[in-house]
Structure 1
Amino acid sequence: MDVRQLKYFVATAESGQVSRAATQLSISQSSVTTAIRSLETELNAQLFHRVRGGMELSDPGRELLASARSILRKIEEAKRVSQRPTEIAGTISVAATYTVMGYFLPGHLDRLAQLFPKLDIRLSELTRESIEEGLLSNRFDLAVLLTSNLSNPDIESETLFRSERRLWISNDHPLYRQGRATFEEIAKEDFIMLTVDEAASTSMKYWGLSGHTPRIKLRTSSTEAVRSLVANGRGVTILSDMVYRPWSLEGRRISTLSTDFMVPSMDVGLAWRKGQSMSPEAQVLYEYFRQIYLQPRGSQ
């Protein structure tokens, strides 16, 4: 048993799918599958039940998950002992969109505070349009947003990772048993449309290209409302893996399916004013994210 195997196991347990775990870890699905099989062989126990649309933890898997999380947490703590915080000091203004602020940044902010305790990161949550205006007027040094939504030629960006969009359905939905859905089938279902971060306009673009029209039952800015409605069988939606989790607030299960039409991914990354010379503080953040997401992962 090694740290890599535990890391892959935890990612699969938390995401509910091997493919999603592989995407998050920037590795191949076969690497995740091999690691899990090796763990199961070593422990002589089945850690997951392979179900249609994903992976569910078995009883031994649930027991291992708690231990694996504890081990990985202690390893991170041990790393921090040898990683002295840098002495860089200063203030940086960073803008972020709603989805990035809620589902991407929190864990990184904690890590940044440990690595750069004298760096004051001042965050602002705004729409993409407001962020672009703020970058161009030098109100913000850097932005973390959905680069797939950017269109201003005066803004430079670098995508850190791509989050696939899939169909979300309840586990007792008829489409769940098929394991895959066509846009023709999805168009016959009540569709729950998320509106934040231009999700609605993005959705209508790929719906238009598919040649079908969604039967929109509700438009909402609440991701939790979408999650609950889908889990309770009140409709379906198409959203990214980054905001997915396999249960609603009520504890009802949600599954995901691939579709017959290629839905564009939701890309997350950094943005700054074109031609801008980054300050030392901005360069620190830029390099931090690049090292995590863009460094070679072959050694994992």
Structure 2
Amino acid sequence: MEFKDLEIFQMVAEKGTITEAAKEFSYVQSNITSRIQKLETELNTPLFNRHRRGMSLTPEGKKLLAYSKKILLLTDEMKKAVQSNQEPSGKLDIGTVETVIHLPKLLSTYIKKYKNVDLSLYTGVTETLEKEVLNHKLDGAFVTQSNFHPDLISHEVFQEELVLISDMRATTLEELKEEPVLCFSEGCGYRARLKAWFKDQDATPHKVMEFGTLETILRSVAEGLGISFVPKSVVTHMEQSKLIQCHTLPDQYSKIKTVFIRRADIFLTSTIEKFIETIEANPQ
């Protein structure tokens, strides 16, 4: 059994068809088919159910998938360990919540210094990014401080002040409670803080509208669509331009930390180690 056989097996399991797996590896379909058949022969068991829509894992295939993921992750870690003294290079997949205003500076500092790193950035809400780091889909992520899974380590990046924002109409906090709440999807740390404030005020938002980008939320607030709860640093320019107004909530809701999380059990390659050093050398 070769590592490549397991990689091909995992890709077919993920894509569900020989055709899609062949595209990912730039192989001919017959090559993928023969490698799967070879693996099934070696293990003396069928790994896939073949049907018109593609292929699905048999119970034995599901067992092998769990083991193959562990084997390939360990293999990857082994390669990184023996290359640990090398200059940072290769892929680095980082996640972030949308509101980390200082992130461009951090990324620019890192990439300019380590030009051989292929860094990719993915956005999402804290809860989703935490799961993707746990599942080895991301090397790390910038998220809102929370009670993280015990397999994660967090590095403090900076502290933010969250503010309730609305359009320029004269209004009170009591009146703002009646406005629609514009926010990211469930799992967002800012949304959770605002929800806690409403609860402690014995109030419930009359309407919650979910958006995919911060820019859309800010523009919608400026147009009077509703209110939102965001870091003050990302709306200072809008407040100064009198596009929106900011309302302060008590510290237990407004003071929040952004941290960088990673798995505690991964080998710290020079690539991720230098990334963490860059974070810690750039206090905000």
Q: TM-score, normalised by structure 2?
A: 0.58
Give 1:198-277 correspondences, 5 Å limit: 198=188, 199-216=190-207, 218-247=209-238, 253-259=243-249, 262-277=252-267
C-alpha distance after superposition, 1:46-70 (max 9, x if no partner): xxxxxxxxxxxxxxxxxxxxxxxxx
Q: 1:137 and 1:237 mapped to 2: Cα distance?
A: 31
Give 1:79-228 correspondences, 5 Å limit: 88-99=87-98, 103-141=101-139, 143-171=140-168, 173-175=169-171, 182=173, 184-188=174-178, 190-196=179-185, 198=188, 199-216=190-207, 218-228=209-219
Q: 1:284 and 1:240 mapped to 2: Cα distance?
A: 27
Displacement of 1:108: 2.6
Greater Rg over alpha carbons, structure: 2
Tell me the residue number matched to 1:73: none
- After superposition, the Cα gap between the structure-2 partners of 1:174 and 1:133, relative to the gap in structure 1 and judged at 3 Å, is closer
Q: 1:261 and 1:107 mapped to 2: Cα distance?
A: 27
Letter in 2 for 1:117: K
Secondary structure in structure 2 of the residue aligned to 1:246: helix
Secondary structure in structure 2 of the residue aligned to 1:215: coil
Displacement of 1:117: 1.5
Mean Cα displacement is larger for which, 106-115 or 213-222?
213-222
- After superposition, the Cα gap between the structure-2 partners of 1:246 and 1:127, relative to the gap in structure 1 and judged at 3 Å, is closer
Asked if 2 retains the 8 angstrom alpha-carbon contact of 1:158 and 1:271, the reply is yes
Q: 2:93 and 2:203 mapped to 1: Cα distance?
A: 39
Asked if 2 retains the 8 angstrom alpha-carbon contact of 1:157 and 1:270, the reply is yes
- After superposition, the Cα gap between the structure-2 partners of 1:234 and 1:136, relative to the gap in structure 1 and judged at 3 Å, is closer
C-alpha distance after superposition, 1:262-285 (max 9, x if no partner): 424342221111244411111101
Displacement of 1:245: 4.4
Displacement of 1:201: 3.9
Displacement of 1:115: 1.4
Tell me the residue number matched to 2:272: 282
Q: 2:101 and 2:192 mapped to 1: Cα distance?
A: 20
Q: 2:148 and 2:184 mapped to 1: Cα distance?
A: 19
Displacement of 1:145: 1.9
Letter in 2 for 1:167: L
- After superposition, the Cα gap between the structure-2 partners of 1:90 and 1:160, relative to the gap in structure 1 and judged at 3 Å, is same
Q: 1:263 and 1:224 mapped to 2: Cα distance?
A: 23
Displacement of 1:212: 2.3
Asked if 2 retains the 8 angstrom alpha-carbon contact of 1:97 and 1:145, the reply is yes
Displacement of 1:157: 0.5
Letter in 2 for 1:211: D
Q: TM-score, normalised by structure 1?
A: 0.55
Asked if 1 retains the 8 angstrom alpha-carbon contact of 2:162 and 2:256, the reply is yes
Displacement of 1:290: 0.4
User: Cα RMSD (Å) of the superposition?
Assistant: 3.0
Q: 1:147 and 1:217 mapped to 2: Cα distance?
A: 21
Name structure 2 gaps, 5 residues minimum: 1-85
Q: 1:131 and 1:217 mapped to 2: Cα distance?
A: 22
Equivalenced residues, count: 196
Displacement of 1:166: 0.8
Q: 1:212 and 1:125 mapped to 2: Cα distance?
A: 31
Asked if 1 retains the 8 angstrom alpha-carbon contact of 2:92 and 2:117, the reply is no
Tell me the residue number matched to 1:78: none
Secondary structure in structure 2 of the residue aligned to 1:174: coil
- After superposition, the Cα gap between the structure-2 partners of 1:240 and 1:231, relative to the gap in structure 1 and judged at 3 Å, is same
- After superposition, the Cα gap between the structure-2 partners of 1:122 and 1:292, relative to the gap in structure 1 and judged at 3 Å, is same
- After superposition, the Cα gap between the structure-2 partners of 1:95 and 1:228, relative to the gap in structure 1 and judged at 3 Å, is same
